[in-house]
Structure 1
């Protein structure tokens, strides 16, 4: 039986985003723009700081060593055109747990585009919503590297949602070291959700674009050397967002949600359409396989942002993730020229499982639960191997007050039974993507949920931010430790956990 929600009432839009609040640490130009993704919990902070010896409420686990990192948008300059969260300059926040103490650090990702704008003293990018006048922008649409962050080859790598150019950061100082590259590739571009396999140390990556080949897939070894790359044949340009992997395979996505290439080429406009008459396809390729070795499986039309985990069971490959059958919700008439952006950011998805038989070609698929959740994470020790637990963020729908994308609670799933456990962050409190942090010394021989779940929250009543640490085996009892952060942390996108043995030994 599912656990009941802590409360049934959702706060108003004004309560949620704190639209009337002014912050000394935010660029003051935001208050001249009527855009909810620049106000309240979304308001950027331009402060960068290093603070050690943070106050901890509760008891910090002795076997928690490592760091939680989260990326997100923090625009420095007033946008030339309409602002979209993908346009905000990337900022990484780090909470470090070492020897029973906690410290915090945050830094901008010093991208080529941000450095160019700093030199000019203003925004020069048209932004992802256009209009697209590239004659005044040397780098076209601004690649902000603000979406994802992973740890690979002893460095943090920041990634952008639209297969951008990644950047390398020092994991301890968060100083941008420069462009991240895998030597031997034709270009630097990587999708936001390239994956690192903890078992092998390899990075499995893909990218996509508007010209053939529309997708490439590859593998880099733990030292960052390219060991494999293959062109993937697709019918046209697509917008895949994630991939999965098992011990022997990768799972690629060909989704029926894409833009009209003719309109893009003629008018430089990206008109997205969900093609409900085109099946979703998943391509299973051997980890080091050629493009000709991909086996495609057709499923019900849907869009997928994030997978949880994939594994092999005999002839079957199993994939858990979050599935959307409405990736572009209806725009609201009262939201003006931002209506389509706001609709696109309103995420509707639920926990789901797909099964693909490599011998017979059979597909089985179905929901695990119907609650609106996403930004799903699992224990990285078990990535590529059979697992059952996943940790999601609960997202209110529009009729529940979901005017903007926000996370109101943590949800733990048992994907074998469909049971869920929930922790409500509280009225007007917003979470971040949660990560699973294995206990020091944990491995696959122990319980899968032997560790901690960590997230950041910001209270729109006090504008204080905390880092919450949950016992993964009992999230309903609330955080075992609450770390008081030194300043307000705005809403962001994706997070990762880096073990102390990997981070502090560098």
Structure 2
């Protein structure tokens, strides 16, 4: 691996990461393109590894048993048009903790498009920046299954943000088994951020598109069988990204950040606009409710990517998440044809709480904190009931050097008080979405933050990657141990924790 930077040839990269780094394990076509989301921290890898007995620096907790799984974009072939970071083929990376030892696996998600491109030896997709080709999919681009990852019904499920076809991966090898189709449900599609309720094993899902019904909501049981699904009436096509749930309800999103259908039809381009004059709406529906049982609550115009948790307090439903008042920041001079994409990826959001009164229709909302954080996670045992803590990634703003999306620190919140604790990953070190790993046998009678927080980091000074394990009650002390990963891990999207009693059942 050569670390020799090449200046001025790639101005976007120079500004974001200080130059171009050449990796032996990266596809060589990336060096023909001036695109920061193909270089440095974002450079894809070409290796699929299975390595046992990883080196651990520090003390590995004896009661840490399970697996950390993270999905993300890892393109194999050059896009037909300009590259967007959402274009990359899905790759899942797993860190397995068992019997005081740690193992690592990584595999591409072998989607239908992945197989077609492998056969053709080139990309079949025009990419997110279009123009779109609707012979490929309902969204005009390939379904990469690169966004979300869940533990559900004994396997790993991968999902795409555009409500694509979920895929089922073997939890031990990460080999792609098949599409994941819920028994009793004809459509294959599910959106990313459909949720698994650990208390019941149920999958709480949503599906959306450009044609009626624009949104559907449903529930499947712990064995993958459809239990309930209803259409949800919306004013037009929307782009909901997440869903919340409580013991008795689901919380659906109708957000004023959507594309113009006329532009899409005429020019085959999705032009997103944040409509500041349209209120954000959250729809609360019983988990087995019919379409006409949904109740809509109007809130200040915003966009929300990720929900932290939802619960009921008497006649109130509470939702914690991260709110964005500027989902489409202004482009910057000198960024050329990539300006719109670079602006969109500069995520601005902060921890926020909404409260909805089911009796009176009243809404209360307000900031938990103003720090720019997102990719918020919490203890999954407490999903659907009152929780206090969440674990976010700190994201630098543009004036702080945040020209591209990256995570520079771990932030723990007490969402009731706004108190926070931080751990800085270090100069030139960038993290991944962190998960909460409860201790074996934990339940809702346990102390909520008695467990571990786990993330991956990559050090751009050495291009080495580690898996960090924190005591969730003492984030500021830093990781209790660092697992040395066998190769460089590029930037990714979402992660999930699988409990040892689930992951190793029968093993």
TM-score (norm 2): 0.96
8 Å contact kept, 2:16–2:403: no
SS at match of 2:288: coil
Alignment of 1:208-247 (within 5 A): 208-247=208-247
Cα gap change, 1:255 to 1:135, in 2 (>3 Å): closer
Taking the TM superposition and a 5 Å limit, the aligned residue runs for 1:2-17 are 14=14, 17=17
Q: Which runs of 4+ in 1 moved over 6 A?
A: 135-139
SS at 1:211 equivalent: coil
Show the counterpart of 1:85: 85
Q: What does residue 379 of structure 1 align with?
A: 379
* Residue of structure 1 equivalent to 2:336: 336
Aligned to 1:293: 293
Work out whether residues 17 and 42 of structure 1, in 8 Å CA contact, stay in contact via their aligned partners in 2: no
Provide Cα deviations, 1:454-492, integer angstroms capped at 9, x if missing partner. Answer: 000000000000000000000000000100000000000
Question: Do the aligned partners of residues 138 and 411 (structure 1) sit closer, same or farther apart at CA in structure 2, a change above 3 Å counting?
Answer: closer
Shift of the alpha carbon at 1:263?
A: 1.5
Pairwise mapping of residues 89-238 of structure 1 onto structure 2 (< 5 A)?
89-133=89-133, 140-238=140-238
How far apart, CA to CA, are the structure 2 residues paired with 1:295 and 1:137? 32
Give the distance between the partners of 1:264 and 1:451, measured in 2 at CA: 47
Partners of 1:16 and 1:460 within 8 A in 2: no
Q: Say which SS state the counterpart of residue 114 (structure 2) adopts.
A: helix
- Report Cα offsets for 1:164-183 as digits up to 9, x if no partner: 11100001100000101112
Match of 2:370 in 1: 370
Cα separation, partners in 2 of 1:260 and 1:139, compared to 1, 3 Å: closer
Contact 1:245 1:309 in 2 (8 A): yes
| 2:428 maps to 1:428 | yes
Alpha-carbon offset, residue 333 of structure 1: 2.0
What secondary structure does 1:72 align onto?
coil
Deviations 1:346-384 (A, max 9, x none): 000000000000001000000000000000000000000
Which residue is 1:9 aligned to?
Answer: none
Q: Does 1:269 align with 2:269?
A: yes
Relative to structure 1, the CA distance from residue 165 to residue 342 in structure 2 (aligned partners, 3 Å threshold; closer, same or farther) is same
Question: Shift of residue 336 of structure 1?
Answer: 0.5
Query: How many angstroms does 1:134 deviate by?
Result: 5.0
Per-residue deviation, 1:255: 0.2
Q: Deviations over 1:311-352 (max 9, x none)?
A: 000000000000000000001121000100011110000000
Cα gap change, 1:173 to 1:33, in 2 (>3 Å): same
Q: Aligned partners of 2:97 and 2:104: how far apart in 1?
A: 9
Q: CA RMSD in A?
A: 1.4
Residue aligned with 2:334, SS? helix
Q: How does 1:45-56 map to 2 (within 5 A)?
A: 45-56=45-56
- Checking the alignment, whether the CA contact within 8 Å between 1:19 and 1:36 is kept in structure 2 is no
SS of residue in 2 equivalent to 1:333:
coil
For residues 215-263 of structure 1, give each alpha carbon's deviation from its aligned partner in whole angstroms, at most 9, with x where no partner exists. Answer: 0000000000000000000000000000000000000000000001122
Q: Does 1:73 align with 2:47?
A: no
Change (3 A) 1:216 1:471: same
> Per the alignment, in what secondary structure is the counterpart of residue 72 of structure 2?
strand
State the partner residue of 2:36. 36
Q: Deviations over 1:417-441 (max 9, x none)?
A: 1000000000000000000000111
Deviation at 1:17, TM superposition (A): 3.2
How far apart, CA to CA, are the structure 2 residues paired with 1:310 and 1:441? 23
> Does structure 2 retain, via aligned residues, the 8 Å contact 1:154–1:502?
yes
Distance 1:136 1:247, change over 3 A: closer
Relative distance call for 1:95 and 1:16 in structure 2 (3 A) is: farther
Count of matched residue pairs: 495
CA 1:216 to 1:55, structure 2 compared with 1: closer, same or farther past 3 Å? same
In structure 2, distance between residues paired with 1:214 and 1:78: 32
1:160 and 1:347, CA in 2 relative to 1: closer, same or farther beyond 3 A?
same
> Tell me, what secondary structure is at the counterpart of 1:334?
coil
Higher RCO structure, 1 or 2 (CA under 8 Å, sep 6+):
1
In structure 2, do the counterparts of structure 1 residues 135 and 366 end up closer, same or farther at CA, with 3 Å as the change threshold?
closer
Question: Is the 8 Å Cα contact of residues 15 and 460 (structure 1) preserved in structure 2?
Answer: no
